[in-house]
A and B are shown apart, each in its own frame.
Chain A
């Protein structure tokens, strides 16, 4: 028996029931399309996080307060007041792996101008704060060292806040706004930065000298975060090491388990979030994979029913010289054709869905060649695997019984 003939026989058999063949393929089509689209969405979100990382500065290293003990009682991270300005000064003097350092204190509240108000956050830093966090100034000027020491009531303002509280046509620079009843003079406007990967609007903020925020707004003597820039991305690990050593010496800690601070880097944070996105991708892929499997079972179901329904046809084929193997191959080719053609249509649909999701929802999508090739191979395997049992059943029929089957 030659395979060209078998292919023709199988094709003709499928074409006799086009609508059924299409419905059978639908499971595979949807399965493959969802595998491709889901993986594309997962990969896209991972890539966008990675892109954000480079825009936020991959050499950012920062210290946050950790849990500490007070008389044997463990205190939570947020209540900790362990970071002091002297810690920062010690790091500035001793670490050779950082290029800039700034304290950070922050609070949120209502900002008022005229009769408009808007809830926002204010961040306090020193003159290096903008460069460390990769902010830019669109107009105006940065506060000076002198303004820091004098707790000057000045601030820089983000684009979102400008649009919320200033009427059109008013130049915010030189105007005085009020934050928690403290009047602050606007001296500069921050360049627009947009949302970060977690959906936070990075233009909805004020930046002021840290002394102003610390003393005038919060009335505290500790700082909430210490931000540093490693000299280069390659020296990030060395910088982390420096900070830990210096902080332990400052806080007289001998064992790392007793740390009352945490040193983190942007790179590490991004790693955490990409791993979350990897888990998400795996999950989406697995769900889509299940739908592909269900599609395969659909093929088996239809082929199985079809063997029963076509018993007389099988009997006839045997009586005119079809061998068991010919019948087996015919049904196997039929199921493989269904899954492979379904797979190809599914790949096309997957591309389409990815493109539509990408443009309509504005989600980043990245289609991986591996996922396309893999899902196609899985399809072919599904056709053979799920077609085998019905095909074997057909080939084992006794021609006499099959011909008489009612």
Chain B
């Protein structure tokens, strides 16, 4: 188990809503190994968002333990959590969350601004490399409003790569995209996972998308109800080929 990037044991998260205590997570155990591409599935209210917040070090558990890359998160304060996020995590959001009127390059550079050990020259080089990895070298000076949804999400993925994180957390990253673009983004994630060895945790409620990952963890009512290997992982590139011609983004 030394290889585990994420280790969660008996993790509980309760919220106080008025007089009511909502038990969002009731005792979750899971482990994710380095190099895995995992989908977390579940309906709304299943606790998957709460799980993602805790995995993303945006929130701390009420009880139980969470180890990220060997570091126990439970006892950390706000500033230490921020440092951990900056050093070890990459986020991809459903709505991209790019800064408007800011070029793709600057958007990608952003996480490195919060790491004072990275100098201006290195910052730019690393951002360029990340944009190259997502295939956007010809769009580096474009503003978000000059890019399509798929391209914007690629910029966001480049941003999540730029600090060389141990795990990329994607929250419904294809939720705002059409089918073809969704598959294109998934193809990119698969490539990052297979060719670059990136560990990816992908939260989704779409079984179609979850099929493209190597393991599905299904949440319901605050518990992990099912963990299953997808067996023969489906290639997003194959899926793309099967789509009717002419149905592609302009």
Partner-B contacts on A (CB < 8 A): 1-2, 5, 8-9, 12, 16-17, 312-313, 315-326, 399-400, 403
Contact = CB atoms under 8 A, between A and B. Distances in A.
Given A320-B85, A321-B111, A400-B59, A16 B102 contact: yes
Nearest to A18: B101
B43 interface: no
B128 to A, nearest CB: 18
B242 interface: no
A318 B91 CA distance: 11
Contacts of B101: 16-17
Contact of A8 (B79, B82, B93, B113): B113
B99 interface: yes
B85 A321 contact: yes
A319 B99 contact: no
Given A319-B56, A319-B58, A320-B110, 20 more contacts: A1-B116, A2-B116, A5-B114, A9-B113, A12-B106, A16-B102, A17-B101, A313-B97, A313-B99, A315-B97, A316-B110, A318-B82, A319-B85, A319-B91, A320-B85, A320-B163, A323-B82, A326-B114, A400-B53, A400-B58
B115 interface: yes
A254 B72 CA distance: 98
Nearest to A1: B116
Q: Which 10 A-B pairs have the closest CB atoms?
A: A321-B86, A320-B111, A321-B114, A16-B101, A323-B82, A2-B116, A316-B97, A5-B113, A323-B79, A321-B85
Nearest to B110: A320
A22 to B, nearest CB: 15
A403 B86 CA distance: 16
B32 to A, nearest CB: 19
Nearest to A13: B99
Nearest to A316: B97
Interface string B81-115: 01101110001010001011110001000110111
Contacts of A325: 79
Given A8-B113, A321-B85, A312 B97 contact: yes
21 contacts: A1-B116, A5-B113, A16-B99, A16-B102, A312-B97, A315-B97, A316-B99, A317-B110, A320-B85, A321-B82, A321-B86, A323-B79, A323-B82, A323-B114, A324-B82, A325-B79, A399-B58, A400-B53, A400-B59, A403-B58, A403-B97
Interface string B114-146: 111000000000000000000000000000000
Nearest to A321: B86
Contacts of B233: none
Contacts of B154: none
Nearest to B117: A2
B78 interface: yes
Contacts of B91: 319-320
B159 interface: yes
A21 to B, nearest CB: 12
A385 B56 CA distance: 35
Contact of B86 (A9, A12, A17, A320): A320
A313 B59 CA distance: 18
B78 A321 contact: no
B19 to A, nearest CB: 21
Contacts of A313: 97, 99
A17 B97 CA distance: 18
A320 B114 contact: yes
**Which of A1, A316, A318, A321 is the most central at the interface, judged by chain B CB atoms within 10 Å of its CB?**
A321
Contacts of A323: 78-79, 82-83, 114
B249 to A, nearest CB: 25
B82 A322 contact: yes
A60 to B, nearest CB: 69
A402 to B, nearest CB: 10
**Which of A312, A316, A403 is the most central at the interface, judged by chain B CB atoms within 10 Å of its CB?**
A316
A324 B86 CA distance: 13
Contacts of B78: 323-324
Nearest to B93: A403
A393 to B, nearest CB: 16
A2 B97 CA distance: 24
A400 B171 CA distance: 12
**Which of A315, A319, A325 is the most central at the interface, judged by chain B CB atoms within 10 Å of its CB?**
A319
Contacts of A312: 97
A1 B114 contact: yes
A16 B100 contact: yes
A139 to B, nearest CB: 77
A207 to B, nearest CB: 76
B237 to A, nearest CB: 30
Nearest to A319: B91
A320 B159 contact: yes
A325 B53 CA distance: 21
Given A323-B79, A324-B78, A400-B59, A5 B116 contact: yes
Interface in B42-56: 53, 56
A125 B211 CA distance: 115
Contact of A321 (B53, B83, B97): B83
A321 B106 contact: no
A395 to B, nearest CB: 10
**Which of B58, B59, B101, B116 is the most central at the interface, judged by chain A CB atoms within 10 Å of its CB?**
B58
Contact of B87 (A319, A321, A399, A400): A321
A322 B97 CA distance: 15
A308 to B, nearest CB: 16
Contacts of A9: 113
Contacts of B83: 321, 323
Contacts of A321: 82-83, 85-87, 111, 114-115, 163
